[in-house]
Amino acid sequence: MIGVSPKTAVVEDFAVRAAATERLLKQAPSQSSRVPNESEIWALLLELAKRARTGNPVATPCGLRLDDLGRLESVPAERGWLPETAQTWFDTSVRGDHELFRLLELYLPLCVGPGCQRFVLGHLGQSLDGQIAAASGASRYVTGPENIRHMHRLRALSDAVVVGASTIAFDDPELTTRLVPGQSPVRVIIDPQLRLSHDRRVFCDDRARTLLVTSTNGRTPCHTARGVELIRVPDAEGLLSVPAILTELARRGLERLFVEGGGVTVSHFLSAQAFTRLHITVSPVFLGAGRPGISLPPIHDMNDALRPSVRRFDSGNDVLFDFSFADQRQGGTSQNHQT
């Protein structure tokens, strides 16, 4: 841009996008019947995710909305629920205070575009000093209620939710979508030594299909929980092969994966470079020496450090960091966006 400084160009670009946000929020009835509410936007995201699951993903959400029966329909762009810049929000975010746009900015990358048919998204909630639980293993709740709801939303958008044995042992979660509309995902429990007892809730209810992943060298289970499918994959030094896990899940049609925890499982997937995205929610609390979140092998050169693109979202009193590893795989550089 001749005669305009980069700083001025950025300010002008921000102003244009902010104005687009305001126009959507204040659309006249002649342009669109009404502005959708949060429940309708969430229903739209669920429909977009359903299209991705069935192998027919939407390239751009522009010109889309739900009809009176909740079905996805195409309309002229000016009558759709999303602004024309929606497909580029990750690269150049529309930064507004409205909850609808936070909802869209955070979840649209999982629902539209070429990368939505298959992804591996990790998540951890941790303290300011990097702990996901106290030394006793207690972790309810490190983060606030907004992050709990966020996890339920990620479950609803995914084919499967993956957790390690310690998460099941200490927290005994249901791993369902009881806090938000949406279908509960397949539950995948990683238990290399088959040490979990059969009385854990994921083994005792029929609210969702449950898979138990263990080592090909592991012992024969002393119990077979009802409806639980056992999957065996190779291991090395007590850690199961992440590529083998992903292959087995893909064979079962599970390619939109949410790795919910805990620290060992998320760190193992990160070390294996399996993540396309990683969400880390940081709570303003100090736990002292406890159970750490991310733990990776050491590096000796700063050029070897992982530097993913990152966006930041307020989540109640917490801060959510949304990392994308696309640039890492393409040899790009880190970018930072804040919402």
Over range 144-159, report the average pLDDT. 96
Q: Which residue has the higher pLDDT, 331 or 74?
A: 74
Task: Give residue 96's pLDDT.
Answer: 41
Over range 40-45, report the average pLDDT. 92
5-32 per-position pLDDT tens digit: 544 444 454 454 445 545 544 443 434 4
Q: Which residues contact 8 (CB under 8 A, 6 or more apart)?
A: none
Over range 183-198, report the average pLDDT. 94
Task: Give residue 30's pLDDT.
Answer: 39
Percent of the chain at pLDDT > 70 equals: 78
57-71 per-position pLDDT tens digit: 998 888 888 988 888
Task: Give residue 85's pLDDT.
Answer: 53
Mean pLDDT of the chain: 83
Over range 140-144, report the average pLDDT. 89
Residue in the structure block whose two tokens are 């996890």? 151
Confidence of residue 36 (pLDDT cuts 50, 70, 90): confident
The vertex-143 CA angle with 137 and 144, nearest 5°, equals 135
Name, of 4-13, 248-257, 289-298, the range with top average pLDDT: 248-257
Strands 336-338 and 119-126: unpaired
Confidence of residue 210 (pLDDT cuts 50, 70, 90): very high
Q: Which residue has the higher pLDDT, 30 or 292?
A: 292
Task: Give residue 237's pLDDT.
Answer: 81
Over range 102-130, report the average pLDDT. 92
Tokens for 214, please give them: 């263990």
Over range 191-206, report the average pLDDT. 91
Task: Give residue 31's pLDDT.
Answer: 40
Q: What's the predicted TM-score (pTM) here?
A: 0.83
Task: Give residue 320's pLDDT.
Answer: 96
Edge-to-edge strands, sheet with 336-338: 228-233, 210-215, 186-190, 160-164, 256-261, 119-126, 277-282, 318-324, 309-315, 336-338
Name, of 99-103, 104-108, 156-160, 259-263, the range with top average pLDDT: 156-160
Q: Which of 19-23, 51-55, 63-67, 101-105 has the lowest mean pLDDT?
A: 19-23
Phi, psi of 82 (to 5 degrees): -120, 145
Q: Is residue 223 predicted with pLDDT exceeding 70?
A: no
| Residue ranges in the chain assigned as alpha helix (H) | 6-25, 38-53, 99-107, 145-157, 165-171, 201-204, 242-251, 263-271, 326-330
Half-sphere exposure of 38 (CA within 13 A, CB side): 8
Task: Give residue 82's pLDDT.
Answer: 73
Say how far apart CA 85 and CA 101 lie, in whole Å. Answer: 12
For the chain, the 3-state helix, strand and coil shares in percent, each to the nearest 5, are: 30, 20, 45
Q: Which residues contact 246 (CB under 8 A, 6 or more apart)?
A: 120, 257, 274
* Residue-range domains of the chain with CATH: 6-110 (no CATH), 119-287+309-338 (3.40.430.10)
